[in-house]
Amino acid sequence: MNIGFIGLGIMGKPMAGHLIAGGHTAYLYSRSGVAQELLDAGGKGCASPAEVAKNADIIFTMVPDTPDVEKVLFGKDGVAEGLAPGKVVVDMSSIAPLETRKFAARINEQKCDYIDAPVSGGEVGARNAALTIMCGGTEAAFNRVKPLFELMGKNITLVGGNGDGQTCKVANQIIVALTIEAVGEALLFASKAGADPARVRQALMGGFANSRILEVHGERMVKRTFNPGFRIELHQKDLNLALAGARALGVSLPNTAIAQELFNSCVAHGGAAWDHSAMVRALEMMANHQVAKEIPTC
């Protein structure tokens, strides 16, 4: 297929690379320029999102937030200017469900399909083509794009109509944030009590408390490796969506609010770009104790 990919950051770059490796012709755009390795692999750089859309039958977007998606789709030289009937726009960003439905309606007016397909799995999942992909759209459009999703992920689900994929992603981010907080509290408690947090983590991985977050982010907490796979500022954005949605629905999400406050504390200490596993640092500051000592770098 002729496919397009807009947004080639930490996540988008390896995702686009998998599509190119799958034999598809890829038209690429990024505000910061297209990485040379993607061009060397056969990708074709474009001057604007509109140029991507003119050349591609299925156009993927992977940008940070709701306003970024709106600008890429409907701004000057945006995707909408390059669409023709029968094309598919697939937004893999994590953005507001309500705005997603509005974007989908505008794309549908141009006789094109729209799928919201946010992902979970972070940089590691993107690099390993192991993302979880949560989709909202028609079954026909989903089936058309599914072979491409399978090049980027492993757990691919059509949740429902437009916006439902984004709602599922918000739910995912609530669970992830609260689990990071729980793992951080547990390892901090163990360390303060004098136990080896690395061995405690290893023991817990064999029991009912095991989780992917204990495995991956628990290791980050012990080894003090907080370079981002997924930045705190991005998780803050997702929890803002959760809390705003909860207010609109008349639902209380007390622990989600606490997790957001812990992220806010990290940001106040210069941690907007830390990996979200560094939420543990907020807990450590309150306890005046670190899970483990920082490992010196050469």
Output b/e per residue, 56-77; b: 16+ Cβ within 10 A.
bbbbbbbbbbbebbbebbebeb
Q: What's the distance, Cα to Cα, between the start and end of the chain in Å? A: 47
How far is residue 290's CA from residue 234's CA, in Å, rounded to a whole number?
24
**169 given a catalytic annotation:** yes
Q: What Cα–Cα distance (Å) separates residue 153 from each residue in 15, 126, 179, 197, 255? A: 9, 8, 22, 32, 30
d(CA 222, CA 205): 14
Question: Taking CA 10 as the corner, what is the angle to CA 179 and CA 54, rounded to the nearest 5 degrees?
Answer: 125
Measured distance CA(251)–CA(170) in Å, rounded: 14
Q: Which of 54, 146, 169, 237 is catalytic?
A: 169
The span from the CA of 139 to the CA of 275, in Å, is: 35
Instruction: Check if the beta carbon of residue 9 is closer than 8 Å to that of residue 62.
Output: yes
Is residue 232 within 8 Å of 281, Cβ to Cβ?
no
CA distance 240 to 238: 5
Residue 8 · residue 30 · CB < 8 Å: yes
Handedness of CA 174, 286, 228, 197 (dihedral sign): negative
Q: Which residues are catalytic?
A: 169
